[in-house]
């Protein structure tokens, strides 16, 4: 059996994989020409978040693709999806290793907004002793749209700040950890009306594309603070900009955008009530270590015919 790795993993991580699977020939290939030579007899492939369909087609023995990202929306593009399903290739995501850093990122942005830390820092640079009105999180309501592993970690931390948590998910089936009240997608507007802080943590699928539009912003509180750490395409960016400009919502923190990198010409840069981070909410020093451990666990499960964590359901798109 053969494993082809097409992402730039350090040698210590490659050794972890080789030690876990001594019977598997493990090859790292970063050069496209070398990838094409090595893919033909590969059973397993570790790939990045951008799928290479032409490379996949050359993998005549390919059985499993492990992506190095939680989101698999690019793999769900029609031509790629049709190919994966026709060939019976299993796709596995890295869902589950991002919860801690993303939740910390969200709470950091919210605390910064609530306590006006950025404003105080700006005053500090000008040597001004400027007392301003600040708020607290205790007693506020956070609406989390998408209650998967990331949404639950955000809710866990919100509860630690004594916030009420409201979750929105596709179907309401039983309780969700750290969520006080739960609504289904058809009840989205009912949930949004209650939110002091609204966090979008949805996967990008055909169902969730443009999930938050002008209609949804219209029902939010004028004091609401909106956070998107999901995918840019989940939100109608034009409607968001309009809501921010017109004071329909108080502010926003955005880590993801419809086009990345965000163009210097984007009007989002001009808005005083927006915090922008460059799609780094999931980044942390141990990312590759956690990812390698999860990959090793999943490949063992596959080889031993056990349940695979994060096996993508092609019918759902994640």
The residues carrying an active-site annotation are 231, 260, 279
The phi, psi pair for 207, rounded to 5°, reads -70, -35
Residue found under tokens 């015919």:
305
Return the structure tokens found at 35. 């990838």
State residue 303 phi and psi, 5-degree precision: -65, -30
Identify whether the C-beta of residue 177 lies closer than 8 Å to the C-beta of residue 167. Answer: no
Q: How many CA atoms lie within 13 A of 308 on its CB side?
A: 21
Distance between CA atoms of residues 2 and 11, nearest Å: 18
Burial class of residue 198 in the structure, from the number of CB atoms within 10 Å of its CB (0-12 exposed, 13-18 middle, 19+ buried): buried
Contacts of 160 (CB under 8 A, 6+ apart): none
């Amino acid at each position: 059996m053969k494993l082809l790795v097409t992402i730039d993993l350090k040698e210590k991580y490659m050794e972890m994989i080789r030690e876990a699977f001594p019977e598997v020939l493990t090859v790292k290939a970063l050069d496209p020409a070398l990838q094409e030579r090595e893919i033909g007899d590969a059973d397993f492939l570790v790939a990045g978040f951008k799928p290479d369909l032409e490379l996949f087609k050359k993998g005549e023995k390919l059985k499993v693709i492990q992506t190095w990202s939680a989101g698999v929306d690019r793999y769900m593009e029609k031509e790629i999806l049709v190919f994966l399903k026709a060939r019976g290739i299993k796709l596995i995501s890295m869902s589950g290793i991002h919860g801690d850093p993303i939740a910390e990122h969200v709470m950091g942005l919210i605390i910064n907004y609530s306590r006006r830390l950025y404003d105080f820092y700006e005053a500090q640079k000008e040597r001004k002793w400027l007392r301003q009105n600040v708020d607290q999180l205790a007693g506020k309501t956070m609406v989390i749209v998408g209650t998967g592993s990331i949404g639950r970690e955000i809710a866990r931390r919100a509860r630690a700040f004594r916030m009420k948590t409201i979750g929105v998910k596709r179907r309401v089936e039983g309780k969700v950890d750290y969520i006080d009240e739960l609504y289904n997608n058809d009840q989205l507007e009912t949930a949004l009306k209650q939110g002091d802080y609204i966090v979008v943590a949805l996967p990008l699928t055909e169902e969730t594309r443009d999930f938050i539009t002008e209609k949804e912003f219209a029902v939010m509180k004028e004091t609401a603070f909106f956070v998107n750490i999901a995918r840019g395409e989940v939100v109608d960016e034009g409607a968001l900009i309009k809501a921010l400009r017109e004071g329909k919502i108080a502010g926003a923190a955005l880590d993801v955008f419809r086009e990345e990198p965000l163009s210097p010409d984007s009007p989002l840069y001009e808005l005083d009530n927006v915090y922008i981070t460059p799609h780094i909410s999931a980044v942390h020093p141990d990312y590759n270590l956690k990812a390698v451990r999860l990959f090793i666990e999943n490949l063992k499960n596959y080889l031993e015919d056990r349940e695979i964590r994060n096996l993508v359901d092609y019918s759902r798109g994640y």
